Structure 1
């Protein structure tokens, strides 16, 4: 039940003088007008109109509610107008850093939608896969998922980034199935450059660390997954990126009894930029787009057209 729509319909009926005239004003049919007024009366548990075949009058209660509803709707419309106007009043240029895959698949679209709503805020979006200190490199916001933190920079969590360790069935058939993280030193490992070669796991008796030797190191998650699909070795990748390959049988999750700790996608903002209207508008937008479900659950990767590297 949309109470505001029902209130607006009630006000239109009063001004138009009849249900049919209100229907013409709102470009709908009289039955819809009747239903909305009935819903409002049911919610208030009162009759707002005295209805006859020839005449429509407000009841005493309806006369009391009419000016109050007029005030409520006017204040709501004014509030929305203030928000819309404030969006157009903010004028500033922001430099934003985002990892390549996240930007191409998700946050690039999210920031494009933001700019449509805040046309006065100009965005300079740079795709960088390494960790960036936004103070030293003059960024207003740095989006990333690496655990690195910096002095005088606030970490604003956006959403968790679950990861798993995977290999292709063909690779496992040829090289064998690792039983423990320590077995990885005897395997071909594929690493994400910015994350380094020390892989962390959570075991029954606590954390387990393994320094792996990289057969291939890349700075793009899709290239990493493509290498897995082509039997080059074992990799740690984000669960949502691995999911299509797992579903198609091109990859298999391994060492599931030793889960890889989640990362967190976060926005790094210089402390002296907190409170800035443009920065806060972007942060609020990013949070709304990332919570309660992360972007890849709202837009599944399988629905995004991408071409595998050749």
Structure 2
């Protein structure tokens, strides 16, 4: 007979980082948790954790076991939530951090619609491009535009962000229109650089990906500022299409090298690792995906199992 209690204890030890913290989270004594993990190791005949006086570390077998049981425990919790979801009043607070421009131009209205649907939930949002320690700062949801996910967090890759090279007509009149990616090295760049963006430009030249580092007189961590500097004729920049759309329509900026695609980033949602997601997380994440699914131009990437999308969804 499988003892789910000790499986859950093992998962809590991994997630909390110690027997003491796991015991506190479960409302048990440290001795009970330690004994149950020892019994689990004895029954399976496998050492799951390396124990020292200062820290715990998963063995390879322990890591593989944790990855399996984490999914199983999450499925069990999700099944339990679905059984009682119609009787549950979803409430609580969500602390969210997201990039400035993503929040201003994209997520603000979605957050407002979400709160209308769930009046017993409150949201505290910080718009920032800074480095965020999700666990240390007690952040519930971190949105990022990035190409690399943090492996210590549970992350859903939502969709790709479309980026383009742009410059003003006045800049191109002075410096000429680049014809191939290699030509960019002779131009002035306006670089966008932050904790998640390295500032280089990666372009496919038809045969291979080229990483370019043009000279930049201006380096910023804000795409709106980069766009405005480009409109003034300072140089060439790379911005998401949504940021440049109006300026392109008004002919304040012109697209460059449209036959040579740029490496794309992704919009991601990250949160602390848990055996199961709290109900308020689930309804929020599902609402975000449903909102994204309303636009046929958005290609959703990593859709969680608990998210149900259909043509009848209205958000």
Structure 2-normalised TM-score? 0.62
Q: Distance in 1 between matches of 2:90 and 2:289?
A: 19
1:122 aligns with 2:103: no
Bigger CA drift: 272-281 or 200-209? 272-281
Q: Distance in 2 between matches of 1:285 and 1:261?
A: 28
Q: Secondary structure at the match of 1:226?
A: helix
Q: Distance in 1 between matches of 2:209 and 2:158?
A: 25
Deviation per CA, 1:53-86: give whole Å up to 9, x if none.
Answer: xxxxxxxxxxxxxxxxxxxxxxxxxxxxx86763
Q: Indicate conservation of the 8 Å contact 1:273/1:279, yes or no.
A: no
Q: Indicate conservation of the 8 Å contact 2:184/2:214, yes or no.
A: yes
In structure 2, the residue matched to 1:222 is 224
Q: Indicate conservation of the 8 Å contact 2:147/2:264, yes or no.
A: no
CA-CA distance at 1:201 after TM superposition: 0.9
User: Given the alignment, which residue of 257, 282, 287 partners 1:255?
Assistant: 257
In structure 1, the residue matched to 2:132 is 132
Q: Distance in 1 between matches of 2:217 and 2:130?
A: 20
Equivalences, count: 214
1:203 aligns with 2:205: yes
Q: Distance in 1 between matches of 2:119 and 2:178?
A: 53
CA-CA distance at 1:143 after TM superposition: 0.9
Q: Secondary structure at the match of 1:256?
A: coil
Tell me which stretches of 4 or more aligned residues in structure 1 moved more than 6 Å: 294-297
Q: Distance in 1 between matches of 2:104 and 2:235?
A: 26
User: Given the alignment, which residue of 230, 233, 251 partners 1:231?
Assistant: 233
Q: Structure 1 residues 133, 242: closer, same or farther in 2, change over 3 A?
A: same
Q: Secondary structure at the match of 2:114?
A: helix
Q: Indicate conservation of the 8 Å contact 1:133/1:150, yes or no.
A: no
CA-CA distance at 1:247 after TM superposition: 1.6
Q: Distance in 2 between matches of 1:164 and 1:222?
A: 14
Q: Distance in 2 between matches of 1:121 and 1:206?
A: 48
Q: Indicate conservation of the 8 Å contact 1:159/1:291, yes or no.
A: no
Q: Indicate conservation of the 8 Å contact 2:180/2:205, yes or no.
A: no
Structure 1-normalised TM-score? 0.63
Q: Indicate conservation of the 8 Å contact 1:197/1:214, yes or no.
A: no
Q: Distance in 1 between matches of 2:124 and 2:208?
A: 43
1:100 aligns with 2:117: no
CA-CA distance at 1:236 after TM superposition: 0.4
